[in-house]
Chain A
Amino acid sequence: MIKASNLFKEFKLSKKQKQENGTSEEVYRAVNDVSFECKPGRIFSLLGPNGAGKTTTLRMLSTMVVPTRGTIEICGIDIAKNPNEARKKIGFLTGSTGLYERLTPDEVLKYFADLHDVSKEEFEKRKEHYYSLMNMHDFRSKKIGQLSTGMKQKVSIARTMIHNPDVVVFDEPTSGLDVITSENIITLIRNCKEEKKTVIFSSHIMTEVDLLCDDLVIINKGKVVFEGSMEQFRTGMKSETLTGEFIRIINESN
């Protein structure tokens, strides 16, 4: 369960940035009063054009950046008060997530399992589960630098899930990946839903959203411009296609 209430994130602008943006404002507000709730067993999508504030919002949810104002609760834990407890509940994956190229998948998984205080027995069980699920046994002891993009993505997935997080955050998870590699992510997201995990993912690919999403929030210029279920989005459409409707909402809010 994720509960974000009245989130604000402001970045201080340097003189150079002020000149470049042609503004006299001291700060740039990347996220402006955003609130939403993601429920377990449902896939929540955060949509928006480039620069809308999606990544900043997800970074706040995953405790990487601290909100300027507002609160976030992850499974009932206030992340401002207890960030490490909240982190134990979160799995985080992006399309550009890197891995330690000189380590093997076994070593990477062990590292993150240790950081998440996963017991040895639980680690072995979960590791074997993901190795079998994604056919990873053949390359488990190879250095990651020697693996293909698809293999690396499988390692990233196993790394995200090794501590059995209740909340999984995906920031444009298929960005830059080919169709086959993207399919691994899509399967992972579906599996998470089946396992009653809370899933939030950001994207600007409407076909992906249509395929997976239960609830969605569209943000533009840091503000929520649509909030509801996928069903509500479809019913209220004034354009013929999902992409067209998404563009219409963005244009209207500009």
Chain B
Amino acid sequence: MKKILIIAKKEFLDMFRDRRTMIRMILIPLLIFPLIMNVVTRIQSSVSEKQAAEKLTVGFIQSQESIPAIKRMSQEPNFEFTSYTDTTQLRKDVVAKKINLGLIFSPTYLTDYTSGKTAQYSVIFRGADFEEYERLQKLLQREDSLIVDSRMQELGKSYSFLAPTKANEINVSSIKEILAKYAGGMLPYIFMAFLFMGCMLPAIDLFAGEKERGTIETLLTSPVNRAQILIGKLIVVTSIGLMSATIALIGLFISLNMLQADSEMMTAINSILSPTLIATLYILLIPLAFFFAGVMIPISVYSRSFKEAQSILTPLNIIMVLPAMAGFFPGVELDYFTAFIPIVNVVLATKAIMAGNADFVLIAITFISLIVLATISIWIAFRQFGKESTILR
């Protein structure tokens, strides 16, 4: 045990002195979510502020009858209505972005309006700038409501005549449950992606890197068993992976607090990220980290150089990401089949715990299956590390 700790201590020191490790394992996981959240929030608010302040020019071809509607809509701030006589020209100007939108009222607009028929108009818009149409749509819907109101008055009916039934919705799901169902896959996904990336760099550096630097020979001639060397290094690989995932979680928590969501939502988020969930997540992620390390180490041991190991391991990222996305699909649940599929089981188990409907037996199956897989992968890693043809390749 003493020798294992000596190796682990030295490897930690070595890894923490590596600028790549510090950036990839600590800085990026910590800053990525606050940064993304900050940038997205800023862009969103600046875009919507800009849009609201931007003047929309609407060209229209009017019939005499449509004048009241135009007059009313012209009162709206940041809207300018320009009269056209030629439909083709109106269309051309919208295409050329000389104006934002075009409105063509039918000649019988007011007649239809007053006689209870459907008063028709056409809207020319650019689908690429759909938000402009959405702004005009609000004005047009208001016009529509005015027509309905006047018609109802003429008929002497109340508005409820048009709404014969009304459902009073009683949602018994808590925000926590809804969040767990629709966003629940996100948390384990993030955790696992950073766990994987966190394990990858030390797994490469501590094995392929050691071979490439020519330090492995010195280590192999020291009075320490290969199993001790492997375990010492394995501890470092999994610890850095878990550390990276934890830092990402802290980053995510910071960014959620930056969101300034409503208090009910924040309470739900805080209750989801409960100590029980975090503890369970770690219980599942520790064997998963060993499993990841057990998969990466044989590849790294086999590789002649850091670059070779990196080129083999990077595509594995995709293989890991695909099952981790299982949590994003609402219908996929933890059951006696999915509990045996590594990665998928962790995502679904976390999701179930978040939603508060976790089955203890299924969680136990998930945990045991991960332990079995981790043991097998570490055994393979040990076999590979013990092979002369591989280690001195």
**Do the two chains belong together in a single complex?**
yes
Residue positions of A touching B, CB distance < 8 A = 11-12, 59, 62-66, 84-85, 87-88, 90, 92, 94, 96-103, 107, 111-112, 114-117, 143, 159, 169
**B392 on the A face (CB < 8 A):** yes
CA distance A114 to B220 in the complex (A): 15
The interface residues of chain B, by DSSP majority, are classed as: helix
On whether A11 and B13 interact (CB within 8 A), knowing A87-B221, A115-B3, the answer reads no
Interface contact A84-B214, CB-CB below 8 Å = no
**B389 on the A face (CB < 8 A):** yes
Contact with A along B213-241 (1 / 0, CB 8 A): 11101101111110000000000000000
CA distance A109 to B222 in the complex (A): 13
CA distance A120 to B67 in the complex (A): 98
From residue 248 to 285 of chain B, which have CB atoms closer than 8 A to chain A?
none
Minimum CB–CB distance for B368 against chain A, Å = 35
**B17 on the A face (CB < 8 A):** yes
Q: Which of A84, A101, A143 contacts B224 (CB 8 A)?
A: A84
CA distance A96 to B218 in the complex (A): 11
Q: Which of A64, A98, A102 contacts B220 (CB 8 A)?
A: A64
Could you write out 30 A-B pairs with CB less than 8 Å apart?
A63-B220, A63-B221, A64-B392, A65-B392, A66-B388, A84-B223, A84-B224, A85-B223, A87-B221, A87-B223, A92-B218, A92-B221, A94-B217, A97-B214, A98-B213, A98-B215, A98-B218, A99-B213, A100-B213, A100-B215, A102-B14, A102-B18, A103-B10, A103-B13, A107-B10, A107-B13, A111-B6, A111-B10, A115-B6, A116-B223
Interface contact A11-B389, CB-CB below 8 Å = yes
Minimum CB–CB distance for A94 against chain B, Å = 7
Find chain A residues with CB under 8 A from B392 CB: 59, 64-65
Find chain A residues with CB under 8 A from B6 CB: 111, 114-115
Q: Which residue of B lies closest to A171 (CB)?
A: B217
Find chain B residues with CB under 8 A from A87 CB: 221-224
From residue 266 to 308 of chain B, which have CB atoms closer than 8 A to chain A?
none
Interface contact A115-B223, CB-CB below 8 Å = yes
On whether A116 and B214 interact (CB within 8 A), knowing A102-B17, A107-B13, A111-B10, the answer reads no
Minimum CB–CB distance for A105 against chain B, Å = 14
On whether A143 and B17 interact (CB within 8 A), knowing A65-B392, A115-B6, the answer reads yes
Interface contact B220-A103, CB-CB below 8 Å = no
Q: Which residue of A lies closest to B229 (CB)?
A: A115
CA distance A98 to B3 in the complex (A): 21
Interface contact B14-A100, CB-CB below 8 Å = yes
Interface contact B221-A64, CB-CB below 8 Å = yes
CA distance A219 to B237 in the complex (A): 42
Find chain B residues with CB under 8 A from A111 CB: 6, 10
Contact with A along B139-163 (1 / 0, CB 8 A): 0000000000000000000000000
Find chain A residues with CB under 8 A from B220 CB: 63-64
Minimum CB–CB distance for A151 against chain B, Å = 16
Find chain B residues with CB under 8 A from A12 CB: 389
From residue 10 to 37 of chain B, which have CB atoms closer than 8 A to chain A?
10, 13-14, 17-18
Q: Which residue of B lies closest to A66 (CB)?
A: B388
Q: Which residue of A lies closest to B218 (CB)?
A: A97
Find chain A residues with CB under 8 A from B389 CB: 11-12
Find chain B residues with CB under 8 A from A88 CB: 223
Interface contact B222-A112, CB-CB below 8 Å = yes
Known: A63-B220, A97-B217. 11 other contacts (CB 8 A): A85-B223, A97-B214, A100-B14, A102-B17, A102-B18, A103-B14, A107-B13, A115-B3, A116-B222, A143-B17, A159-B218
Find chain B residues with CB under 8 A from A85 CB: 223
Q: Which of A59, A101, A112 contacts B218 (CB 8 A)?
A: A112
Find chain A residues with CB under 8 A from B214 CB: 94, 96-98
CA distance A102 to B14 in the complex (A): 6
Find chain A residues with CB under 8 A from B7 CB: 115
Interface contact B213-A101, CB-CB below 8 Å = yes
Contact with A along B189-227 (1 / 0, CB 8 A): 000000000000000000000000111011011111100
Q: Which residue of A lies closest to B391 (CB)?
A: A64
Find chain A residues with CB under 8 A from B388 CB: 64-66
Find chain B residues with CB under 8 A from A100 CB: 10, 14, 213, 215
